[in-house]
Amino acid sequence: MGYFDAASSAPLHPVARQALQASLDEGWADPARLYREGRRARLLLDAAREAAAEAVGCRPDELVFTPSGTRAVHTGIAGVLAGRRRVGRHLMVSAVEHSSVLHAADAHEAGGGAVTQVPVDRAGAVSVQGFTDALRADTALACLQSANHEVGTEQPVAEVAGVCREAGVPLLVDAAQSLGWGRVEGDWSVLTGSAHKWGGPSGVGLLVVRKGVRFAAQGPADERESGRAPGFENIPAIVAAAASLRAVRAEAAQEAVRLRELTERIRVQVPGLVPDVEVVGDPEHRLPGIVTFSCLYVDGETLLHELDRAGFSVSSGSSCTSSTLTPSHVLRAMGVLSEGNVRVSLPFGTAAQDVERFLEVLPGAVAGVREKLGAPAAETVVRDDVLVVDSLGKLCPIPVIELAKVIGEVPVGGLVRVLADDEAARLDIPAWCEMRGQEYVGEEPAERGTAYVIRRAS
């Protein structure tokens, strides 16, 4: 079996399992108590904090353990915004942040705050100039992930941190995906992480707030974890999280080389094995274990089921895997194809033969899904020398399939007007034009849905 979804949750590291089992006998007592059992628990907690702080590159008294990475993000954002409310209520985030950051931004905006989303390029990276231009006099906080969770693109954190520091604005870095690979460079102010992303147990997050950053913890006061993470500490899980972080760091340099070779093999071979595929994300500045591609004319959820039946666990940012039937916000921000999206994220220790078997299975799985979806016939009419394709009521990738079937029926320079009411078409039709060398003219109003106009260029 090939578990290729480490970006969602990595398998428990053997060191984490050992540390968890060992600390169950010593770390059950209240570390705030002065009796023997409490002192033992406190020693374990303090040692774990020191180990995690050394891995992050901060002081132990700057780091607290939270019940999850999401809680660390929400606590960090709320605390800095509250601590700097006299400066202003402007929050900056990149357009491809994890949903935990974007949800916190939505809550801030709903409460009367201002939010700016900094756009990214087609590879998924922000520009330093874009961040610089978005800074304002009332900016209280800026947020930028160290690397993207869907496509693996690394962000220019050190450069952005320098710009923010010069402007007197703290930068919060969501380092959930990258912390197992190494420290986050740059003069950042706040950092968050999540243990289950690097092979630790679930239910443990990290929140680091540098000394000098104005921070006001929100919610009822609590004496634990500097008042920033209320509730009794799960000491065995915390010990396991710190131990596994140290263990994966010891392996990271060598494993990064090996996994980068495996993902590069996928990046290079998939477009040759499967027609009409777009590999997305930065080809160079990316995490070692993540590679993402999108397949034209494929329903993402169906493809994931087919791969699961073949023994491979992968994930998708495709609109078709979401109950909301809207495209992934990451893929939308990048302006790339969303349909038939597959994210392969290899855990530590992935065998090369598993990757080879995946490459053997993938073409047949994609072909099978395309065959199932190829049946719908496009309803086309000609109006004012424009070929009209009625795809109303049909979910992507069907509108794109029907466009592909009829584009050859118009002369070069001729127009095709696709009527569609699936939100994913707004992203996938322009992406198809980019891939196929056709000209996307734009949108036009329609009685129902939206009309997407394409000019045949070749």
Amino acid 333: pLDDT: 95
Q: Residue 374: is its pLDDT beyond 80?
A: no
Provide DSSP, 15-37: HHHHHHHHHTTTS-S-TT--SHH
Amino acid 318: pLDDT: 56
Averaged pLDDT of the chain: 92
Nearest to 233 by CA among 69, 18, 45, 22: 45
pLDDT digits 0-9 by tens, 155-200: 999 999 999 999 999 999 999 999 999 999 999 999 999 999 999 9
Give SS3 for 199: coil
Amino acid 446: pLDDT: 85
Tokens of 252: 């990271």
Please say whether the beta carbons of 295 and 331 come within 8 A: no
Q: How confident is the model at residue 323 (pLDDT cuts 50, 70, 90)?
A: very low
Average pLDDT over residues 380-395: 77
> Active-site residue numbers?
320
| CA triple 123-320-441, angle to 5 deg | 55
Give SS3 for 114: strand
Return the exposure string of 395-428: e unless at least 16 CB atoms fall within 10 Å of the residue's CB, then b. bbbbbbbbbbbbbeebeeeebbbbbbebbbbbbb
Phi, psi of 107 (to 5 degrees): -65, -40
> What's the CA gap between 81 and 104, in Å, rounded?
11
Amino acid 437: pLDDT: 92
pTM: 0.88
Amino acid 379: pLDDT: 53
CA distances 138 to 73, 105, 190, Å, are 21, 16, 19
